[in-house]
Amino acid sequence: PPPAGFSPGSGALNPFDRRLKRKQKNWAALQAEPAKCDYLREEVGGRIADRVFDITRTFPLALDVGSGRGYIAQHLNKETVEKLIQVDIAENALKNAVESEIPTVRVVADEEFLPFKEDTFDLVVSSLRYQSRELCVCALQIHQVLKPNGVFIGAMFGGDTLYELRCSLQLAELEREGGFSPHVSPFTAVADLGHLLSRAGFNTLTVDTDEIQVNYPGLFEVMEDLQGKYILCMGESNCSWNRKPLLHRETMLAAAAIYQEMYGNSNGSVPATFQIYYMIGWKYHESQAKPAQRGSATVSFGDLAKIEGLLKTGKK
């Protein structure tokens, strides 16, 4: 196993406690009726599968990084993916994986240390597995294991995820304790994604964002779903080294009041927003389309307002 707190090949400290993350995911996978808390992962897994179907080709060998219970595989078919390798840090998650029609091999491994040779996979997918610091490290390995002209399709939480909860907790802690510490793992900004993937070697990048909002009776139900069901079931609870172990009762009550006052719905419920970034990147191959040479354009951007007239002229 890698030294605690270090990233492969860089010697840099990793802000996430990966041993704790593995314990969390293994614990979550053993909970009763885990499917009840997987609604968001399954929804995002379906949307990633839709992006795979948009690519009109068959992938002989695909890799699902951080597959969990197989949230993407259950939406794919063997006409699109002929064989699938599922990798996850938690062995209990793989044991409880949902069966699919695709021939599948499951491997227990740390997603930051992919145990595969270079140029192995035609497709790599990942659903809500990475955060910004992890993606910076793992994108290099994903690019390495992809074949030329292979594609990476992934999704991760965006910077506005759980902003209602984070703001309420911070305001309550400032008021009651004179300062605050993170209780939810940090998220990245969309402006950083393209830069991270480009530095890893990907080209023809596509990044888009979406939001999914879930309503709860109150803050305590949000925390229960995140800590005891949803977030822990995904293994994405706060694993930062500087995390605070607990919140005082008075602080929680104050946060609940702030949450309701600032964000409450007219029916008494409170929203929790999950921002999702979807990314697509290709490994370079000489057959891929290339940009035209500089200065070869025949129409100026200034003429775009006249596009209808130019089209009519072209038809004549």
Is a pLDDT exceeding 90 seen at residue 193? no
**What is the SS3 assignment for 64?**
strand
Instruction: Write down the pLDDT at residue 282.
Output: 95
Compute the average pLDDT of residues 309-313. 68
Instruction: Write down the pLDDT at residue 5.
Output: 44
Is a pLDDT exceeding 90 seen at residue 84? yes
What would the two tokens of residue 238 be? 């706060």
Is a pLDDT exceeding 80 seen at residue 300? no
Residue pLDDT, tens place only, 151-183: 999 999 888 889 999 899 889 988 887 766 665
Instruction: Write down the pLDDT at residue 184.
Output: 62
Is a pLDDT exceeding 70 seen at residue 1? no
User: Confidence class of residue 2 from pLDDT cuts 50, 70 and 90?
Assistant: very low
User: Confidence class of residue 191 from pLDDT cuts 50, 70 and 90?
Assistant: confident
Parallel/antiparallel/unpaired status of strands 270-282 and 146-157: antiparallel
Compute the average pLDDT of residues 221-245. 54
Instruction: Write down the pLDDT at residue 130.
Output: 73
Instruction: Write down the pLDDT at residue 246.
Output: 64
Compute the average pLDDT of residues 4-22. 51
The length of the chain in residues reads 316
Residue pLDDT, tens place only, 107-117: 998 887 899 99
Sign of the Cα torsion 212, 214, 134, 14 reads positive
Instruction: Write down the pLDDT at residue 235.
Output: 36
Ordered domains of the chain (ranges, CATH)? 18-161+186-216+273-285 (3.40.50.150)
Is a pLDDT exceeding 50 seen at residue 149? yes
Nearest-5° Cα angle at 125, 120 to 126: 125
Is a pLDDT exceeding 60 seen at residue 4? no
The rounded percent of the chain whose pLDDT value lies above 70 is 75
CA distance 56 to 125: 16
Q: What is the pLDDT of the chain when averaged over all its residues?
A: 80
Is a pLDDT exceeding 90 seen at residue 223? no
Distance between terminal CA atoms of the chain?
69
Is a pLDDT exceeding 60 seen at residue 6? no
Instruction: Write down the pLDDT at residue 298.
Output: 77
Residue pLDDT, tens place only, 246-293: 677 888 899 999 999 999 999 999 999 999 999 999 999 888 877 777
Which residues, in sequence order, are CB contacts of 270 under 8 Å at separation 6+? 164, 215, 216, 217, 218, 219, 222, 259, 260, 263, 264
Is a pLDDT exceeding 80 seen at residue 33? no
What would the two tokens of residue 142 be? 């994903």
Is a pLDDT exceeding 80 seen at residue 73? yes
Residue pLDDT, tens place only, 196-218: 898 889 998 999 999 999 999 99
